[in-house]
Amino acid sequence: MKIVIIGGGAGGLSTASNIRKYDEDAEITVITRDEHIAYSPCAIPYVLSGDVGCFDDIIMHEPEDYLEREITVITRAEVFEVSSETNKIKYKLIDNHEESSGIENELSYDYLIIATGGAPFIPPVEGAELEGVFKIRTIKDGSMINEWAKKSQKAVVVGAGLIGLEIAYGLKKIGLEVTVTEMLPQIVPRSLDPSMASIVQKYIEKKGINVILGQAIDKISGEEKVEGAVFGDEEIEADMVILATGVRPETKLAKMAGAKLGRWAILVNEKMQTSIPNIYAVGDCVEVYDAITGHNTQSPLGSTAVRQAKIAAKNITGINAEFNPVLNSMVSKIGDLEFGAVGLTKTAALQNGLKVISGKSRALTKARYYPGAKRIDVKMTVTLKGKIIGCQIIAEERVAERVDTMSLVIAKGINCSELANMEFSYAPPVSMVIDPIILAAEDACDKLNKLNK
Amino acid sequence: MKIVIIGGGAGGLSTASNIRKYDEDAEITVITRDEHIAYSPCAIPYVLSGDVGCFDDIIMHEPEDYLEREITVITRAEVFEVSSETNKIKYKLIDNHEESSGIENELSYDYLIIATGGAPFIPPVEGAELEGVFKIRTIKDGSMINEWAKKSQKAVVVGAGLIGLEIAYGLKKIGLEVTVTEMLPQIVPRSLDPSMASIVQKYIEKKGINVILGQAIDKISGEEKVEGAVFGDEEIEADMVILATGVRPETKLAKMAGAKLGRWAILVNEKMQTSIPNIYAVGDCVEVYDAITGHNTQSPLGSTAVRQAKIAAKNITGINAEFNPVLNSMVSKIGDLEFGAVGLTKTAALQNGLKVISGKSRALTKARYYPGAKRIDVKMTVTLKGKIIGCQIIAEERVAERVDTMSLVIAKGINCSELANMEFSYAPPVSMVIDPIILAAEDACDKLNKLNK
């Protein structure tokens, strides 16, 4: 069985490894445009901040590691033709391949996996091509930002999603004056309600980061190099501008193959199969089904790609497996502050026409008297029937696993009164006798009881 | 409505507070033998270790705080008669009540709540009455240990359950030479399998604590004061011996009232009602139903008492509520090591005649390249049909919330293949791209697949 995988990120390489796990004999070839493979793009901000030593540290594997498992990895190679009629792809070597650069090659496949990921979206503003303007996606992007930051004093980060905030914090930490800007009236608009976002905002402002909300970037000023960023009437001086304005799925090759596209990305079924039976797709380039809204959405996360890869590999090797609808669980850490969410915010629920209330708690991460207890904020989105459909959590510790608990709650359709009676573990140095999650569930129950009176 | 509650611990006082929440007019009286109320006995070891400043810190409320909410609390008072025919109890003031000591009083009730807790079990060994031998239950016990420890060099802690280990670590931390002994061949026998217990054992041994397994204490030697503890042929020198040999439910008053007792403790239904309709019981003095074995068991935990109190209070005030069968979730922290468990160990499952396998993972608490990532060990107990019925987790961070996630998994009957596909949150500083829980579930699936081939 000949397998060709386009893309050397989490989706592509996990598919390769999983296929090898289930099939010792498959011929597996991975082709990627990138120079590096198997690295964690989500770790780039933490290299910039100095928390992780260097970019080499976040590369988990080299192509040679895959060769040991008889997986061929071709780097710096661009696929320029996919034919689902002949089951062949054509690629050429690019970049620094020296004498062989530009040479065209052909590979035939029994199964093709498209794991082409996404490309940073560059807003169409004047000055976006100036020196000192950066996008953020690959290690190469990260290295360039890192070098440029060394000779810079002032940075503007456009976009206050996770990556934007993480980069902003990283640059602040290494001594730059940093402004982060967001078109929408709050930070982290995809995952947090305004009230929860403002907790994170206060934290980053306290760390000295300047935040501008409700302003799209109008222009990047400068001659050859960036000199400032213009928002309405205001111009902010800057030696560098980082565009963290989202990612667009790379669907060109899928389209060329004739696979159906959805509103944003490649359409796949629950087996991760495209509309062409022997072409699968995984990762940031596909659309997923949202467990709560019932609509298609995007889930551009490494963890999603890894789970999809397992499903694709199983189905390709003859094992039935289905990718579950997504719950959109996320977590991030900025400085000491951890924040995470799963499911729908109250805002998103209302936008989706759902009638909901919030269950809230503000409590502590340890027993009240235990030294080092941190404040924790929990906010749940709960339907009028008591079903929990979302949760946001912020604290300086122990957030990620609570988000995972809430993922299970939402996936299993547990309502707030059932959750309020759930048995949670307790010891003074690690928890409160009544967990903040339980307190928020109780708050939701109390509110619903009052509504129904 | 007249409510009398016997017991001023987590069970008794939470019942009082919850009744007040649902009924503004109830006359509520709490009677306790103890001088202090509303403190966290589980915190005593952390005061001994110096992690928590002093015993006053772990007292959450004074009787006056309850008076504000019109809850009368009578401390240092012993109930010596309960009559379920007349619906009356009699008590006398004891201890340091000076002139009023010994005076008898009577209270009538519409509902009586028995929250008498448990008393430390003192093994019937020679020397148990010597000076320098301590039990550990109340703040008074804790204070006495604290004082005695100041003039001691060597301590023996009998019993390697949670409290035993926590006390042993506390005494070691303040400079004593400490030996902890256990009758059974492993530490934490109730919650951990031998392989997991040995990880904890290695950790405490590395901290300099001496561990003796498979030896019951035969004698405590000394004239007036403790001089040593004898185990078989061996005598260990000691200035103090702490008996952490378990707790026996206090059922005397329940028996006097004519309430039915079970094998260990007071029998209650899912409303926390005893066999006498207007007498309820909560906390360490009742038996609970085990969700997995289907047998009655004990759950002597503050968190259990608090959940039971809420259920009792609701039912007494006319709101239907049921206490769920217990999953036996627990967590502890010794030094930097956190360990927790829920459901059945493999050992316990086999003892209960269940056929099971284990799903295991040894992974990290953060991305591999992220500084400060700690080792984490997960072991799941899984039936041959794939149902998860237990889980043990050990790491130097982020254990408690994972135990809670697994409580939900077990409560909802989620099997290992469903868990292996679950969506967990991910960010390099706080988790691995595939959570250790997922890895253990995958391991269980792989093992079951091999068995079924």
pLDDT tens-digit profile, chain A (453 residues): 999 999 999 999 999 999 999 999 999 999 999 888 878 888 999 999 999 988 888 888 888 889 889 999 999 999 999 999 999 999 999 876 666 777 889 999 999 999 999 999 999 999 999 999 999 999 999 999 999 999 999 999 999 999 999 999 999 999 999 999 999 999 999 999 999 999 999 999 999 999 999 999 999 999 999 999 999 889 999 999 999 999 999 999 999 999 999 999 999 999 999 999 999 999 999 999 999 999 999 999 999 999 999 999 999 999 999 999 999 999 999 999 999 999 999 999 999 999 999 999 999 999 989 999 999 999 999 999 999 999 999 999 999 999 999 999 999 999 999 999 999 999 999 999 999 999 999 999 999 999 987
> What pLDDT, on a 0 to 100 scale, did the predictor assign at position B79?
96
In tens, the pLDDT along B20-50 reads: 999 999 999 999 998 888 788 889 999 999 9
Helix or strand run (H / E) with residue A81: strand A77-83
Question: What's the burial of A124, exposed, middle or buried (CB within 10 Å: 0-12/13-18/19+)?
Answer: exposed
How large is the average pLDDT for residues B407-430?
95
Q: Is-contact B274 B268, C-beta < 8 A?
A: yes
Contact check, Cβ <8 Å, B42/A422? no
The C-alpha of A362 sits at a distance from chain B's nearest C-alpha, in angstroms, of: 17
| Nearest CA-CA partner of B415 in B367, B452, B380 | B380
Q: Look at residue B430 and tell me whether its pLDDT is greater than 80.
A: yes
- How high is the pLDDT of residue A56? 87
> Chain A residue with minimal CA distance to B332?
A427
Q: Is the pLDDT of residue B101 over 80?
A: no
Predicted confidence at residue B75, as pLDDT, reads 92
The model's pTM is: 0.94
Task: Using an 8 Å CB-CB cutoff, list chain B residues near A329.
Answer: 423-425
Residue B152 to residues A82, A234, B178, B211, B423, Cα–Cα distance (Å) = 79, 70, 11, 19, 52
Residue closest to A160 by CA, chosen among A207, A208, A209: A209
Q: What ipTM goes with this model?
A: 0.94
Question: Any bridge partners for residue B82, and if so which?
Answer: B89
Average pLDDT over residues B172-195: 97
pLDDT confidence of residue A171? 97
pLDDT exceeds 80 at position B326: yes
CA dist B25 → A447, B19, B115 (Å): 22, 10, 22
Nearest chain A CA: its distance from B77 CA (Å): 27
Name the residue of chain A whose CA is nearest to B323's CA.
A421
CA–CA min distance A57, chain B (Å) = 6
Q: Per the structure block, which two tokens stand in for B354?
A: 């269940």
Instruction: Give the separation between CA B144 and CA B167, rounded to whole angstroms.
Output: 13
**Mean pLDDT, residues B58-74:** 89
Provide the CB-side half-sphere exposure for B219 (13 A, CA).
10
Minimal Cβ distance to A400: which of B322, B423, B425: B425
Of A10, A400, A427, the CB nearest to B333: A427
Among A302, A401, A422, beta carbon nearest to B411: A422
Question: Does B63 score more than 90 pLDDT?
Answer: no
β-strands B111-114, B2-6: how paired?
parallel
A361 neighbors A377 (Cβ within 8 angstroms): yes
Q: Who among A46, A329, A368 is closest to B60 (CB)? A: A368
Cβ–Cβ below 8 Å for B423 and A332: no
Determine which helix (DSSP H) or strand (DSSP E) holds A330, and give its type and residue range: strand A330-334
CA of A44: which chain B residue's CA is closest? Answer: B428
Residue percentage of chain B with pLDDT more than 90: 89
| Contact call for B404 and A426, based on CB within 8 A | no
- How many other C-beta atoms are found inside a 10 Å radius of the C-beta of residue A105? 14
Distance CA A178, CA A49 (A): 13
Query: What are the backbone dihedrals phi and psi of residue A266, each rounded to the nearest 5 degrees, phi first?
Result: -70, 135
Q: Is A54 a catalytic residue?
A: no
Mean pLDDT confidence for B384-412: 97
Contact A433 B40 (CB under 8 A): yes
- pLDDT category of residue B98 using cuts at 50, 70 and 90: low
Check: CB of residue A71 under 8 Å from CB of residue A20. Answer: yes
Q: Looking at residue B417, what is its pLDDT?
A: 95
What was the pLDDT predicted at A37?
Answer: 84
Cα–Cα distance measured from residue B123 to residue B144, given in angstroms and rounded to the nearest whole number: 20
**Predicted local distance difference test score (pLDDT) of residue A64:** 85
Looking at per-residue confidence, does A452 or B126 come out higher? Answer: B126
Measured between alpha carbons, how far is A84 from A162 in angstroms, rounded to an integer? 37
Collapsing DSSP to helix, strand or coil, A86 comes out as coil
User: CA-nearest residue of chain B to A413?
Assistant: B412
Give residue for tokens 């090898």: A20
Q: Write down the pLDDT at residue A99.
A: 66
Interface contact A405-B408, CB threshold 8 A: yes
Contact criterion met (CB below 8 Å) for B119 and B248: yes
